[in-house]
Amino acid sequence: GAVVSQHPSWVICKSGTSVKIECRSLDFQATTMFWYRQFPKQSLMLMATSNEGSKATYEQGVEKDKFLINHASLTLSTLTVTSAHPEDSSFYICSATSAARTTYEQYFGPGTRLTVT
């Protein structure tokens, strides 16, 4: 139980284009979803927190107009990287928590590797 999927697992896009990444909780309802970014050999950096049906809360230094987050349902959150540039190339990981389960544990998706050329 508590499976989180991400799609796509990897994507290559050209500079200036937009890319959408999906995060789904497959067997539970995700009260809250988190989006992280991880550069090579670095730790996870929280980008934003989203609750179903409300606006995402972004961490300091993360541009909300560039990284659009939508959490339209209790099983789906999307991250759209708009006007992507090579410096946005990174490993993007989502996680989810559920009020119905152990509330403190975050269940992580497998990640999406974004390469911007």
Partner 1 sequence: GQNIDQPTEMTATEGAIVQINCTYQTSGFNGLFWYQQHAGEAPTFLSYNVLDGLEEKGRFSSFLSRSKGYSYLLLKELQMKDSASYLCAVRDAGLTGGGNKLTFGTGTQLKVEL
Which residues in this chain contact partner 1 in the complex, by CB under 8 A? 31-32, 34, 41-46, 49, 51, 57, 91, 93, 97, 99, 103-106, 108-111, 113
Nearer to partner 1, 5 or 15 (CB): 5
Nearer to partner 1, 42 or 117 (CB): 42
Q: Which is nearer to partner 1, 48 or 81 (CB)?
A: 48
What pairs with residue 76 in β-bridges?
24, 73
Q: How far is the CB of 8 from partner 1 (least distance, A)?
A: 14
Q: Say how far apart CA 74 and CA 64 lie, in whole Å.
A: 21
The CA-to-CA distance between both ends of the chain, in Å, stands at: 37
User: What's the min distance (Å) between Cβ of 112 and partner 1?
Assistant: 10
CB of 12 to partner 1, least distance (A): 16
Q: How far apart are CA 106 and CA 68, in angstroms?
A: 21
Taking the complex as a whole, how short is the minimal distance between the CB of residue 46 and partner 1, in angstroms?
7
Return the structure tokens found at 84: 């992507």
**Cα–Cα distance, 3 to 59 (Å, whole number):** 25
Q: What letter would DSSP give residue 106? A: P
